[in-house]
Amino acid sequence: LSLSLLSPLSLFSPATRFGAVLDMVSDRCTTLALIMMLAVFYPSHAVYFQLVAVLDIGSHWIHMYSSLSSGKSSHKQIDLRANPVLRLYYESRAVLFIMCSVNEIFFMALYFAHFFSGPYLSMFGYTMGMWEWVARITFVPCAAKHFISVIQMVAAARNIGYLDEEEIRQRRG
């Protein structure tokens, strides 16, 4: 295989700006599709699913815009002076992997629970289907990930504000 054929494929690597945007957009779109289905499956909780969707899309979009406006090639590259929660979240691959995985597992458990309960398990004096257990166990870490999204959105908004201030200062000379 010629290296010249591989060169266009490198555009899709998360190490490039295009790859980073493609990575984030594909993650957001697939999660959004799942969340939209859950709003249909659980109409009494639709408002919560809508809020999660808006927070997820909004926080990632503003964070990506802030990162790329700052000259970074990925939203996963953060300033070491930034918020310590975001620094841990993005610099520790283990933390990022666990938080993102648990978030998706929570939504998938709710999806599966809509169709079948799985085997019934008794724990802590309660008996319920496996998927309900998985959803209950992953709820708190999932909520924590969305709290991190709020932190991410605030930090990104501040960064954009700093960039705007700097640009205005440079124009005024």
Neighbours of 38 (CB within 10 A): 23
Task: Examine the residue annotation and report whether 164 is marked as an active-site residue of this protein.
Answer: no
Which among 143, 14, 23, 145 is positioned nearest to 88, based on CA atoms?
145
CA 104 to mean position of chain CA atoms = 9
| CA angle (105 as vertex; 104, 109 as ends), nearest 5 | 120
Annotate 70-126 with DSSP letters as a single string.
TT-S-TT---TTS-HHHHHHHH-HHHHHHHHHHHHHHHHHHHHHHH---SEEEETTE
Name the β-bridge partners of 121: 128
Q: Which residue has the tokens 């933390």?
A: 95
Catalytic member of 23, 27, 56, 164: 27
Q: Which residues are identified as catalytic?
A: 27
